[in-house]
Amino acid sequence: MIALFFALSLQAATPDIVISGRQLSEAYAACVEQGCPPLRDAQASIAFAEQQFRDGAYLKARHTLMRAISRNKRHAATDPKPVSALYEAYATVSLHDGDLDAFKSAVGEQVRTLRDNLPANDPAVVAAAFATGDMWLAMRKGRSAEISYKAVERQALADGNAVVALQATLRRVRLANARGDTAGAARLMAEAEARPIAADPKLRNLLQVVRLRLAAGQKDNAQIDQLVRAIGRDGSTRPELVWAPPYRPSALAAAQDEARKFDLRNPLPARSSDVDPIKWVDIGFWIRPDGKTDEPEILRGSRSTGWAGYLLRQVSERRYTGFSTSGADRGVYRVERFTLRGTYQVPVGSLIARRGDAARLEVLDLTQPDTSGSSNRS
């Protein structure tokens, strides 16, 4: 799962922008009409686009964000963080909408805006270092993601930034583990743990989570339980996903993936007559203090949600890191958006790009960071 989300996390929040419903629509329209400063425009536009996205209006959300980018991209030199945040949000919606070209372009502009206008050691630039690799991973191009993460690692070591170098190595560990290269993952993990920075208590939880994911890949349930109990139970720490069953690909997607392995032709190319509407559901579930999930349910979705039954089973079998809580607390409640969609392409017999091809699944955590703590919701 890619960790893209709607947020100006690197900006100071503006309280009077935190509004919803009709007020949000009116505030957004007023901001556009009055020519808000870039930060306020970005906050209002992203909030309005997020509401549209949550309602399943992906194209409207993309339109809102693209208009905001057009208004503000000339301010990249003076306000790079708000402009970059607009590109990041546009990339997120484009990915769920199936427009991979727009997704790739937006991520490139997001990174370029920060790198060209901020010092190399600015936290925003450092945080964006992984965006390109994460993009390739979302596009299922593991080799390109590996090259990108390795480049970040090499540059961070040259700059003396041990923390970023370690984070890059751990991304390579997870990538190797995901493609079944257990020996390569173990070798990279040993390299990471041998670095002096690995002894930093602040990074202890990160290293333990990666070890836990490696153990989960071996389906060693006893070791998984042991490591879940061993990981620090800090109530302020957001639960980290340790293991989940793989998502079930569609028959066409599986056939295309198999054909791609052997450089064969697409077994069923998109045609001009194809119609491929987006399907989406929001699934809410509890993460219990022991790291297991409970009560997954479909909260809402597109017109038909019958296709998403297997996702409830997938969520119910996940394992997260444990955390501390009072005896009365149920744990942490989370809501995730699952989008099943094809990708934009020009089909046979047409000159117009449209969504088609095999349906792929995208997942996004909709739970706001400030609501990720323990809750007594019943």
Q: What is the DSSP string of 136-168?
A: HHHTT-HHHHHHHHHHHHHHHHHHT-HHHHHHH
What single string gives the DSSP state of each residue in 45-104?
A: HHHHHHHHHHTT-HHHHHHHHHHHHHHHGGGTTT-HHHHHHHHHHHHHHHHHHT-HHHHH
Q: Collapsing DSSP states into helix, strand and coil, what is residue 177? A: helix
The amino acid sitting at 43 is Q
Average pLDDT, rounded, for the chain: 81
113-157 pLDDT tens trace: 999 999 988 888 988 989 999 999 999 899 999 999 999 999 999
The whole-angstrom separation of Cα 311 and Cα 199 is 38
For residue 30, report the phi and psi dihedrals to the nearest 5 degrees. Answer: -65, -40
Higher pLDDT, 169 or 243: 169
Specify which residues 194 forms β-bridges with: none
For residue 358, report the phi and psi dihedrals to the nearest 5 degrees. Answer: -70, 140
For residue 365, report the phi and psi dihedrals to the nearest 5 degrees. Answer: -75, 115
Instruction: With a cut of 50, say whether residue 373 has pLDDT above it.
Output: no
201-259 pLDDT tens trace: 888 878 888 888 887 766 566 666 666 666 655 545 678 888 888 887 654 444 445 44
Q: Give the rounded distance of the alpha carbon of 207 from its chain centre.
A: 20
Average pLDDT over residues 101-110: 96
Given a contact cutoff of 8 angstroms between Cβ atoms, the answer to whether 328 and 82 are in contact is: no
C-alpha separations of 32 from 14, 74, 344 in Å: 17, 16, 30
Tokens of 103: 């997704």
Q: Collapsing DSSP states into helix, strand and coil, what is residue 272? A: coil
Q: What is the pTM of this model?
A: 0.80
Instruction: With a cut of 90, say whether residue 89 has pLDDT above it.
Output: yes
pLDDT score of 345: 74
Tokens of 29: 């329209």
pLDDT score of 325: 64
The whole-angstrom separation of Cα 377 and Cα 356 is 40
- How many C-beta atoms surround the C-beta of residue 225 within 10 A? 15
Residue position matching structure tokens 């929040």 = 13
Instruction: With a cut of 50, say whether residue 11 has pLDDT above it.
Output: no
Q: For the chain, percent helix, then strand, then coil, each to nearest 5?
A: 55, 15, 30
Residue 240's Cβ-side half-sphere holds a number of Cα atoms within 13 Å equal to: 18
pLDDT score of 261: 52
Residue 179's Cβ-side half-sphere holds a number of Cα atoms within 13 Å equal to: 16
C-alpha separations of 283 from 41, 266, 280, 312, 314 in Å: 30, 33, 10, 8, 11
CA nearest 81: which of 39, 47, 129?
Answer: 39
